[in-house]
Amino acid sequence: MSGIALILTFVVAIIIMIYMIAKLKVHPFLALMSISLALALLAGLPLAKIPSIVGEGFSNTFKSIGIVIIFGAIIGTILEKTGAALKLADMVVKVVGQKRPELAMLIMGWVVGIPVFCDSGFVVLNPIREAIRKKILANPVGMAVALSAGLYAAHVFIPPTPGPIAAAGAVGLSHNLLLVIGMGVVVSIPVLIASYFFAKYIGKQVSVSEEAEADKIISQSYEDLLKHYGKLPSGFLSLAPIFVPIILMALGSIAKIAGVSGNFGTFLQFVGNPIIALAVGVVFAIFLLASSGKMAEFDSLTNDTLKLVGPILFITAAGGVLGNVITQAGFVDYIKQNAHIISTAGIFFPFLISAILKTAQGSSTVAIITTASIMGMFNAPDSLMNALGLTSEMAAALTVMAIAAGSMCVSHANDSYYWVVTNFTKLTPQQGYRTQTTLTFIMGVVGILTVYLLSLVLL
């Protein structure tokens, strides 16, 4: 199969996949695998080669990024369960002050959202929002929108959350997560600024009924939450699992760029490898767990984390299968032959694919993983990245950012995060569309515009 028929087959396959996930409630792993097999058969790939194509796509993804995702998730779980996430939030409030509650919520969410899933992050930090609201009579909606924005920006843009880690691996940057982290920080700043002003504005436009009991969810008071965790860990131990790996990766990159040789240079590049750096982060997380007197829970925490991250790993690997099938089917070759048509889309192409997937099926992580798998590795001659001319590490990092921005557009009724934010804030679904849905649209648009401006300078 070639030409227009191949493109149409691909488009229909993606539509069916979205329908399976969004409407038929088929697990994304099964949807991706079944669509990959169907696409391979319809594209006319040799039957004898299809099993190896599937196996290669699956195993290569695990090999490049699986361990990193697991380590990052373990760090996030321990930070959440020990109260370290709460400690980080307290530190932010002390720095920003309670006179700027929206800004405090925004930065707090952004810091905590780096290691912790946005859904659980909102649940953990919501009592702080309630406590500040009661103490200084701040606007509850504005604070909730700002908190949601901070968590969401870190969730899609900055490793070690699984989405951007998996995307980095899919486009060939598993060895340079520091670049992805750095670009994630840079791109998220304009997004956070836009979110802050929107939070200030929408907080005045939407009011919440104090009598509302959305879904009968009753939030703990801040004091009750502190009693649950007991004494919060120190600031150093709370920061170390996140920032020590970042520092190690930075040292490894500096050693590589500066050409540091000998045993010392080898050592720096060793500890700067993302797998080793995050392993050190896990060690610090274990120290944190021990200092909190919760080492007895380490086994159960690890099991819970593996249960949580397992589906993400399998979805990531299934996305790798789809990407490999697309490549082997000749889709990328056809795109290359007609590169002059789509090359003008450039960095907007992955954004649009990710935005369509996100809006249709609800999960940002699935949208990020699937889109990154479709794009392929920047240094592979048969990838869509190559066809679009995105063939450098910086181009790959910006592609991850474009995909992340698309994965925000938009959060609505098919997204679990939408319901977490609206229920805990006691918003009606209609108010949720005015706040959370509009917020995520603004965040995505500002994100891709930021990426585009950076591409004009950096590429």
pLDDT tens by residue, the chain, 459 residues:
666 787 788 788 888 887 888 788 888 889 889 998 998 998 888 999 999 999 988 887 677 677 887 888 888 889 888 888 878 877 877 787 667 889 989 998 998 888 777 887 787 777 677 766 765 667 789 999 999 999 999 999 998 888 898 899 999 998 888 999 999 999 999 999 999 999 999 998 988 765 444 334 444 556 666 677 778 899 899 889 888 888 888 888 788 777 888 999 999 989 988 889 889 999 999 999 999 888 999 999 999 889 878 887 888 788 778 878 877 887 766 665 665 566 677 899 999 889 888 887 778 988 898 889 888 899 988 888 888 889 999 999 999 999 999 999 988 877 878 888 888 788 888 899 899 999 999 999 999 999 999 999 998
pLDDT of residue 382: 80
Distance CA 33, CA 315 (A): 9
CB atoms within 10 A of CB 180: 27
C-alpha span between 140 and 387 (Å, rounded): 48
- Enter the DSSP assignment of 137: -
Which CA distances in Å does 24 have to 9, 17, 18, 79?
21, 10, 9, 35
pLDDT of residue 449: 98
Q: Is 159 helix (H, G, I), strand (E, B) or coil?
A: coil
The C-alpha atoms of residue 200 and residue 216 are separated, in whole angstroms, by 27
CA distance 187 to 351: 14
- Show the CA angle centred on residue 351, arms to residues 345 and 354, nearest 5°: 135
In 3D space, the residue among 18, 182, 158, 193 whose CA is nearest the CA of residue 76 turns out to be 158
With residue 151 as reference, give the H or E element that holds it: helix 140-157
Q: What was the pLDDT predicted at 12? A: 87
pTM of the shown model: 0.77
389: Cα separation from own chain's centroid: 25
CB 111 within 8 A of CB 196: no
CA distance 424 to 121: 12
Alpha helices in 171-292 (DSSP H): 177-205, 222-229, 235-258, 262-272, 274-291
Contact predicate 244/280, CB 8 Å: yes
CB proximity list for 287: less than 8 A, separation 6 or greater = 237, 240
Output the pLDDT for position 246: 82
Distant-in-sequence, close-in-space partners of 58: CB < 8 Å, separation ≥ 6? 317, 318, 320, 321
